């Protein structure tokens, strides 16, 4: 038997297991998936938990429900990959050999990378919303909070889902308006970037949106530490911003397993060819989703589009053809903006988010870089699509490669 | 795209003043660019610039954290060398693209 080993049973790993299991000869290939955690989290849903829109039960299901029967599943922590031996060692001392390896171990938040962040105020006045624990704790806190300075701070780039912090402040604005205490809540968005987003046209649209909502943006702030006593965040060039409640996007890093395997950079992201999605070090290792160091967003939509390219190239490799499929860095993100509205952006390595309609040129139904109700429904429907279509590796009516059809690039 | 004559050499720059072709770079150009922003380059500055050029040539994604771990200086030191925007300014003087950081 030849062996394909998938490390990580999150969004990327689960999609790949489903795609591969459907086409590979079951007498010839053994597919194994390894993950340390039995729970699958619908991570885009974390954002809604602090505001009571979703509860914990809305975003969790057993991972096992999404792995196809016939795929071997091992719930165990991974120690390391030995690429020269084609072997993966697990924490219980056992090892697994492979012909092809897919690394889909994602990213994790690392609050301990910032001095003072997970100190005495952690989960008292400082919360993240990138973990289920943080999102649930914040929901509880907001229920009885009477107002003050709400600061959202992004600690480091890159991080998972670059639009989520913008969505968070927009939803917070709507939430406190609904509670009738918006006038008592001061919302500040603090980012190491020079503006609200990474790309100029989207930044312009999103800056206007934040401005209309009276959300203050402080750009070029690179977080050094959190002072628990004074309740301020401090940057490397010694600016201080006071907070009553701090919602933080902690430093994001790849799995420590990547470091132990000697496969990563200093943020534990695997050195990956941005087009073929193959490891630059080993020809039989592919990298999917957030774990790769490719220059695009760390997001489920990217993992989804990348999975189609990776699948094609893995089949090419197995059948001794050149790796012809090329990933373009395609990302597609709904941006929830509060009051039942949302925006949508669609972009890739070379093309920044542009206004227009999606997926059908001139028709939509979704508006790119526009704040509309239908975009919000798209986001809400997406949870169903995620559980029932996306994770199961089924076809979606959206191309893996970004298209210029429906986009307008003559904006100033 | 615009052309700019600096330190006696004509170079291609984009509308933010970043060099388009890293191979046109030399130390004098870096010094002139920095001088326009009121920064006098020292050997320490050049070490950072060389590190950025090497990392960029290898296709690595540049972050302030990465430069802070380079052993040349720490992040605080980097802010002292290039006040205001360490990575943005140092990338400009290094003749490489403005770091996209993240997308």
In this complex, is the C-beta atom of B14 within 8 Å of any C-beta atom belonging to chain A?
Answer: no
CA–CA min distance A236, chain B (Å): 6
Question: B4 pLDDT band (50/70/90 cuts)?
Answer: confident
In this complex, is the C-beta atom of A193 within 8 Å of any C-beta atom belonging to chain B?
Answer: yes
Q: What is the pTM of this model?
A: 0.91
What is the C-alpha to C-alpha distance for residues A102 and A286, in angstroms, rounded to an integer?
A: 5
> Cβ–Cβ of A266/B65 closer than 8 Å?
yes
Find the CB nearest A198 among B65, B85, B101: B101
E strand or H helix that includes residue A135: helix A132-144
In this complex, is the C-beta atom of B81 within 8 Å of any C-beta atom belonging to chain A?
Answer: no
Is pLDDT of A412 > 60? no
- Calculate ∠ Cα A44-A48-A51, nearest 5°: 165
What is the C-alpha to C-alpha distance for residues A34 and A13, in angstroms, rounded to an integer?
A: 9
E strand or H helix that includes residue A31: strand A29-35
Is pLDDT of A72 > 80? yes
Q: Coil, helix or strand for A361?
A: coil
The per-residue pLDDT of chain A, averaged, comes to 95
Residue B102 pLDDT: 45
Catalytic residue among B1, B100, B102, B103: B102
> Cβ–Cβ of B79/A237 closer than 8 Å?
yes
Interface list for B 33-62 with A (CB within 8 A): 60-61
Of B36, B68, B39, the C-alpha closest to B51 is: B68
In this complex, is the C-beta atom of A297 within 8 Å of any C-beta atom belonging to chain B?
Answer: yes
Is pLDDT of B89 > 60? yes
**A353 has which bridge partners?**
none
What is the C-alpha to C-alpha distance for residues A78 and A35, in angstroms, rounded to an integer?
A: 8
Interface list for A 44-73 with B (CB within 8 A): none
Residue range A111-251, CATH number: 3.50.50.60
Residue B100 pLDDT: 65
Give pLDDT tens digits for A1-53.
999 999 999 999 999 999 999 999 999 999 999 999 999 999 999 999 999 99
Residue B103 pLDDT: 43
> Cβ–Cβ of B76/A159 closer than 8 Å?
no
Angle between helices B43-57 and B27-36 (to 10 degrees): 110
Q: What residues does CATH 3.50.50.60 cover in chain A?
A: 2-106+255-318, 111-251
Residue A411 pLDDT: 56
Give pLDDT tens digits for A152-193.
999 998 999 999 999 999 999 999 999 999 999 999 999 998
> Cβ–Cβ of B76/A198 closer than 8 Å?
no
Give the highest mean pLDDT range of A159-163, A184-188, A407-411, B54-58: A184-188
CA–CA min distance B26, chain A (Å): 27
CA–CA min distance B76, chain A (Å): 6
Higher pLDDT, A108 or A194: A108
In this complex, is the C-beta atom of A195 within 8 Å of any C-beta atom belonging to chain B?
Answer: no
Higher pLDDT, A271 or B58: A271
Give the highest mean pLDDT range of A318-327, B10-19, B69-78: A318-327
- Determine whether domain A2-106+255-318 maps to CATH 3.40.640.10: no
Let me know if B102 is a catalytic residue: yes
Left, alpha or beta for A116 (phi > 0: left; psi -120 to 50: alpha)? left
Q: What is the ipTM of this complex?
A: 0.74
- Contact pairs from chain A to chain B, CB under 8 Å: 61
- Closest-CA residue of B relative to A222 is B64
Give pLDDT tens digits for A336-366.
999 999 999 999 998 999 999 999 898 889 9
Percent of chain B with pLDDT over 90: 54
CA–CA min distance B10, chain A (Å): 27
Mean pLDDT of the B7-33 span? 91
Residue A217 pLDDT: 97
Give pLDDT tens digits for A228-269.
999 999 999 889 999 999 999 999 999 999 999 999 988 999
> Cβ–Cβ of A331/B102 closer than 8 Å?
no
Among A236, A254, A267, A327, pick the best mutation site for testing chain B contact (most B Cβ within 10 A).
A236
Residue B1 pLDDT: 66
Q: What is the CA radius of gyration of chain B?
A: 13
List CB contacts (< 8 A) between B86 and chain A: 236
> Cβ–Cβ of A237/B69 closer than 8 Å?
no
In this complex, is the C-beta atom of A93 within 8 Å of any C-beta atom belonging to chain B?
Answer: no
What is the C-alpha to C-alpha distance for residues B88 and B97, in angstroms, rounded to an integer?
A: 9
For residues A339 and A213, is the Cβ–Cβ distance under 8 A?
A: no
Mean pLDDT of the B13-19 span? 89
């Amino acid at each position: 038997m030849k062996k394909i080993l998938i490390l990580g049973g999150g969004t990327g790993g689960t999609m790949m297991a489903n795609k591969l299991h459907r086409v590979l000869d079951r007498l010839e290939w053994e597919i194994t998936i390894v993950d340390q955690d039995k729970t699958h989290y619908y991570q885009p849903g974390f954002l809604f938990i602090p505001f009571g829109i979703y509860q914990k039960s809305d975003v969790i299901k057993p991972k096992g429900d999404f792995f196809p029967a016939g795929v071997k599943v091992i719930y165990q922590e991974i120690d390391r990959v030995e690429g020269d031996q084609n072997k993966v060692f697990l924490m219980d001392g056992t090892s697994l050999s492979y012909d092809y390896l897919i690394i889909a171990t994602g990213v994790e938040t690392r609050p301990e990378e910032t001095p003072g962040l997970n100190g005495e105020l952690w989960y008292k006045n400082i919360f993240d919303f990138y973990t289920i624990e943080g999102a649930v704790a914040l929901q509880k806190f907001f229920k009885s909070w009477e107002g003050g300075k709400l600061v959202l701070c992004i600690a480091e780039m890159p991080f998972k889902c670059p639009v989520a912090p913008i969505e968070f402040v927009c939803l917070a604005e709507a939430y406190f308006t609904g509670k009738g205490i918006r006038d008592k809540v001061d919302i500040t968005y603090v980012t190491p970037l020079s503006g609200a987003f990474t790309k100029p046209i989207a930044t312009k649209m999103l800056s206007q949106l934040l401005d209309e909502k009276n959300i203050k943006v402080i750009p070029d702030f690179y977080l050094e530490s959190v002072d628990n006593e004074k309740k301020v965040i401090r940057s490397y060039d010694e600016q201080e911003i006071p907070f009553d409640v701090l919602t933080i996007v902690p430093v994001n890093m790849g799995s420590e397993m990547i470091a132990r395997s000697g496969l990563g950079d200093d943020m534990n992201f695997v050195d990956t060819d941005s087009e073929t999605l193959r490891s630059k070090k080993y020809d039989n290792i592919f990298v999917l989703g957030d774990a790769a160091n490719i220059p695009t967003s760390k997001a489920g939509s990217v993992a989804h589009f990348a999975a189609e390219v990776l699948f094609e190239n893995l089949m090419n490799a197995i059948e001794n053809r050149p790796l012809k499929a090329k990933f373009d860095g395609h990302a597609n993100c709904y941006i929830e903006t509060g009051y039942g509205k949302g925006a949508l952006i669609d972009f890739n390595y070379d093309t920044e988010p542009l206004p227009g309609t999606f997926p059908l040129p001139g028709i939509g139904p979704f508006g790119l870089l526009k704040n509309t109700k239908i975009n919000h429904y798209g986001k809400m429907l997406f949870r169903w699509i995620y559980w029932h279509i996306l994770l199961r590796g089924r076809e979606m009516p959206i191309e893996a490669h970004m298209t210029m059809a429906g986009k307008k690039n003559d904006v100033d | 795209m615009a052309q700019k004559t600096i330190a006696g050499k004509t170079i291609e720059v984009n509308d933010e003043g970043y060099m388009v072709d890293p191979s046109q770079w030399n130390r004098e150009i870096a010094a002139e660019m920095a001088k326009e922003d009121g920064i006098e380059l020292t050997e320490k500055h050049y070490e950072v610039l060389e590190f950025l050029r090497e990392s960029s040539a290898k296709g690595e994604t540049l972050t302030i954290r990465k430069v802070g771990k380079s052993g040349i200086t720490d992040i605080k030191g980097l802010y002292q060398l290039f006040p205001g925007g360490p990575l943005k300014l140092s990338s400009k003087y290094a003749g490489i693209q403005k770091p996209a950081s993240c997308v």
